[in-house]
Structures are given as C-alpha cells and as structure tokens.
Amino acid sequence: MKRWLGTGAASLWLSLVLAGTVVSSQAGGIAFSADMTQRGPEGVVSSGKLYVSGDKRRVEVSRGSESMVSIMDGTRGLALTLFPSRQSYTEQKSPAGVVAVDAPADPCAGNPGAQCRSLGQEQVAGRDTEKWEVRYRQQGKTLTSHQWIDRERRIPLRQETSDGQRSELHFVGIEQLNGREVEKWEMLSSQANKAPVSTFQWYDPQLGQAIRQELPGGYVSELSNIRVGDLDDKLFQAPADYKKLSLPVPTVRSGQ
C-alpha cells in the first residue's frame, strides 16, 4: 500500500510507474515488462520501458535523444539513477513509500515522524475499512489526515485532511484493456472552494499495477505490450563498467 499521507496531483509518470498508483498492492512476486507511453493534448510526450520483478522495478525513459534509467530495489532499499550516455550512475537510499512492500496494519509504518491512531472500523461504498487518524508534518506545519483503509486490498478508499483536501476512490467496473481484464477506478479529489477533479485508473489485479491513467486536460499514461515472465536480475543493477557518481551530480557542460 502506498502511504497516502498527503493529497494533491502527483507526477503522472511517477504515480503510474515509479511510485505505483493509489490503487495498488503487492503483486505477489510476479515479474513482467511493458512499454510505457505518456500522451498529452499535443500527442506523445515521452515513452519508455518498465520492468518489474517482485519489489524491484526499472524504468527507462526517453525524451528526444536523451535517456535515463531509474531503478528501485526494495530488497536492498536502494534507488539508482543510470545515465547511459555517460556510463555513470548515482545510488542512494530509496525514499519511504516509493518501493511497493507488503502493507502493514499501521499506515504510518515507513513514514518517519508520522503518528497514527486507530479509530475503529467503518464501511465506505459498501466495503469494510479501517479508519485511522494520521498526524504529519508538511512544509513546516502539522496536518491531520483521516484515512479509511480497505481491509481486503489494503488501499486507502478515502482521505480527508485538515487543510480541506479530500480524495475518494470509487470502483467503476470490470473492463478489457490491452488484452487484459482490469478494474476501472475513479479517484475524485477536491480542495476547499474548488471544483472536484476526477482521475481514472485501470488496475490489473494480476500485476498489482495500474496499466492506464487519465488526468484532466487530456493527459494519459499507459502500459502496453505487457509480457509476464522471469527477468534477468542484472536489469536491476548498475552495469559493472559504469562509474558511480557522488551526489549531487555535477552538471555536464556543453561540449563535454
């Protein structure tokens, strides 16, 4: 389960690919690869490849002639960024909540500084949930969030924060997409004195991953050519001939 401590629109690319999606769960160790495409109102914005094996994932993104590879290794708790054109990479501890892990009972687990208090059980849209009060720091302020966690899926079906933000997931139905049976979900998000915004996700239960997401304004991210099967573990490591860089990464000047 992703820690839903804050609301607001996350990066479309990260929400679908790196951080998973709001509708997400552990994929049970399944391995697969897929092509990724992000489109905007003007057409294709970027494309790439996704490789997932248990709690490891590799994302290859191309924008024009530039390419970058991001690797999240939940087993080792590492985040790697590869720069193929420079045959180099950086390595750091992965941020809390980025790599998918089995969901604990406490939604504060893995979020240093957050405090959770159980408020019992309630039903949301006919589903059994656990209600939690979460206190956390954001931009120097202490905020309070109430979350309703689906007991079966371990996903947050509803969240309300003390600054007036509210998000809620609604199951739409079962559909066929790219030859796969998926669940369509709508996330309705709102802020004080603003009209609600809808985001749609098509969640693949076998993969534990949304394979399509639509945001307002005509922005779409989608996984296609999905191939289920074992992957070489070298995909989730830095190549032996790559040089490890220190953080922050030095700027590459023109002509170098």
pLDDT at 223 (0 to 100): 94
Q: Mean per-residue pLDDT for 122-132?
A: 91
Band the pLDDT of 64: cuts 50, 70, 90.
Answer: low
pLDDT above 90 covers a percentage of the chain that reads 38
Q: Mean per-residue pLDDT for 92-110?
A: 57
CATH topology for 12-238 is outer membrane lipoprotein receptor (LolB), chain A (2.50.20)
Convert the pLDDT of each residue in 157-192 to its tens digit: 999 988 888 899 888 999 999 999 999 999 998 887
Between 86 and 12, where is the model more confident? 86
Q: Mean per-residue pLDDT for 209-230?
A: 92
Residue 230 has pLDDT above 90, yes or no: yes
Q: Give pTM, 2 decimals.
A: 0.71
Amino acid at 68: M
Between 101 and 7, where is the model more confident? 101
Band the pLDDT of 136: cuts 50, 70, 90.
Answer: confident
Domain residue ranges of the chain, discontinuous segments joined by +: 12-238
Q: What angle do CA 11, 213, 16 make, to 5 degrees?
A: 45
